[in-house]
Amino acid sequence: MANKKAISSTKKSTHTEPRATKSTLTMLDTVKPYLPLIGALAAEFVGTFLLVASTFAVQGQPLFVAFALIGIILIVSGVTNVQLNPAMTIGALVTKKVKPIYAIGYIIVQLLGATTAWFVLGAFLAGSTTTASATSTQLFHAATMTDGKQWYIFFAELLGSVILALGIATAMKSKDRVISAVSYGFSLLVAILIAGSATAVFLTESNTTLTFLNPATAIAANAIDFKNATWTIATYLAAPIIGAIIGFALRDLLSYKVKENK
């Protein structure tokens, strides 16, 4: 009797396996079409988180941020061409380099990644502050705009975003991950150096900046001042988007001219 029960239980178990396998395959078939989008969104989230965290950690130093970005691109770009920047994503969308559904998802996860980085670093900073400390260290953050100088900061952000968009558009055309990462990283270096040097004279305190070129980073750094909402929104949201569109369009124009000359 014991043997019969064992045999019957074995038969039952072998009988249910095909059903489980079939349901698993059905689930995989359902999810499979969305895997590229899921992977791309994950890459944007992780990449933006690492970029913002790195930027805060090195206090926005251009060279360190550029090399950090190169490493980040090499880590996450195996899935897709990443932008890690809502403005650049909009520029790519307008010039039809990114599908609308991807662009919307990218922007959402980029903002989430930047915000998460701010919360995580803030938590670490709060945990490291002891009662014996005379002063508490602040996270890297946006400086206060100097009255009457907002236009300078706006155009510096616009110019830097155009330069960055040119580099990203070039990186997106490359099929080599290393070349793509280096193009992105050094275009950011040049963009920050030029835009940052134009606004550095207006800085009044350390551990701050007036140059971001990335709305996600700017929001995480509390650059949007609701007491001065018009200028901060125009400078840190509108200017990078306009610059990104110009940069991507200019890159297409340059590519067209090169092909025409050939």
Distance CA 10, CA 19 (A): 15
Which residue, 57, 83, 59, is CA-closest to 211?
Answer: 59
pTM for the model stands at: 0.84
**What CATH number did the domain enclosing 246 receive?**
1.20.1080.10
Query: Residue 89: what pLDDT?
Result: 97
The residue whose two tokens read 């980029």 is 110
Query: Residue 133: what pLDDT?
Result: 47
Distance CA 166, CA 162 (A): 6
- Name every residue whose Cβ is closer than 8 Å to that of residue 252 and which is 6 or more positions away in sequence: 95, 169
- Name every residue whose Cβ is closer than 8 Å to that of residue 43 and which is 6 or more positions away in sequence: 76, 77, 79, 80, 82
User: Taking the mean position of all CA atoms in its chain, how far away is CA 59?
Assistant: 17
Query: Is residue 135 situated within a structural domain?
Result: no
**Which residue range(s) make up the domain with 156?**
12-129+141-261
Query: Is residue 134 situated within a structural domain?
Result: no
Which residue, 119, 43, 118, 125, is CA-closest to 84?
Answer: 43
What is the three-class DSSP state of 142?
strand
Q: Helix crossing, 177-199 with 62-76: angle to 10°? A: 150
Query: Is residue 4 situated within a structural domain?
Result: no
Number of domains comprising the chain = 1
Query: Is residue 6 situated within a structural domain?
Result: no
Query: Is residue 118 situated within a structural domain?
Result: yes
Query: Residue 106: what pLDDT?
Result: 96
Quick one: tokens of 261?
């000359």
Q: How far is CA 152 from CA 227, 237, 242, in A?
A: 19, 15, 16
- Average pLDDT of adjacent 10-residue blocks, the chain of 262 residues: 50 50 65 81 95 94 95 81 93 94 96 95 76 57 88 95 94 86 94 93 87 95 86 95 96 75 58
Contact between 211 and 156 (Cβ < 8 Å) = yes
Q: What share of the chain is helix, strand, coil (3-state, %, to 5)?
A: 75, 0, 20
Query: Residue 132: what pLDDT?
Result: 43
